[in-house]
């Protein structure tokens, strides 16, 4: 699975926030720590907010927080929100679609791997990521 830059950045932002213990995450902090261009980051934060992953608070002490519990956000949801539901169904060799009666040479192998990966992404929440990070760190 090949993810677009926006999805990679979205996952980076959410993972960073999930593995830190701050009350609020200002855009400037996320820019500085993740090296995402400011303009691009602001659009991304707006998108993540509109999609219900984070919420914003304006003002001097403003920033971003999670809009729901970390256990309610899994990696598949983020990828689907940023890439669309078809992101997991792409052909590994780059064809727009494998024809059922003439699939590409990698179709069967990729199909199994894709199913396992999709299941892992659905079953892994930001809370799981946070727990693993804290266990590895401590």
Please report, for the domain that includes residue 113, its CATH number: 1.10.10.10
Question: What single-letter DSSP state applies at residue 125?
Answer: B
**Taking each helix axis from N to C terminus, what angle separates 38-50 and 27-34, rounded to the nearest 10 degrees?**
120
Q: Which of 72, 75, 70 is nearest to 3 (CA)?
A: 75
Token duo for residue 73: 């956000």
pLDDT at 137: 79
pLDDT at 20: 95
Q: 25: domain range?
A: 5-137
* Dist CA 86 CA 133 (whole Å): 30
Provide φ and ψ at 94, rounded to 5°.
95, 0
Mean pLDDT computed over 36-54: 97
Q: Which of 61, 58, 56 is nearest to 44 (CA)?
A: 56
pTM of the model: 0.87
Do residues 98 and 107 touch, judged by C-beta distance below 8 A?
Answer: yes
User: Total domain count for the chain?
Assistant: 1
pLDDT at 41: 98
């Amino acid at each position: 699975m090949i993810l677009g830059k926006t999805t990679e950045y979205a996952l980076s932002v959410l993972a960073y926030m999930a593995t830190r213990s701050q009350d609020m995450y200002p855009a400037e902090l996320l820019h500085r720590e993740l090296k995402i261009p400011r303009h691009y980051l602001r659009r991304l934060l707006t998108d993540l907010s509109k999609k219900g992953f984070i919420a914003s608070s304006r003002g001097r002490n403003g920033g971003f927080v999670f809009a729901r519990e970390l256990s309610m956000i899994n990696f598949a949801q983020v990828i689907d929100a940023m890439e669309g539901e078809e992101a997991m169904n792409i052909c590994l060799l780059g064809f727009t679609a494998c024809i059922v009666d003439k699939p590409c040479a990698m179709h069967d192998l990729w199909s199994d791997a894709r199913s396992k990966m999709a299941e892992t992404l659905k079953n892994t929440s930001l809370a799981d990521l946070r727990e693993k990070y804290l266990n590895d760190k401590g």
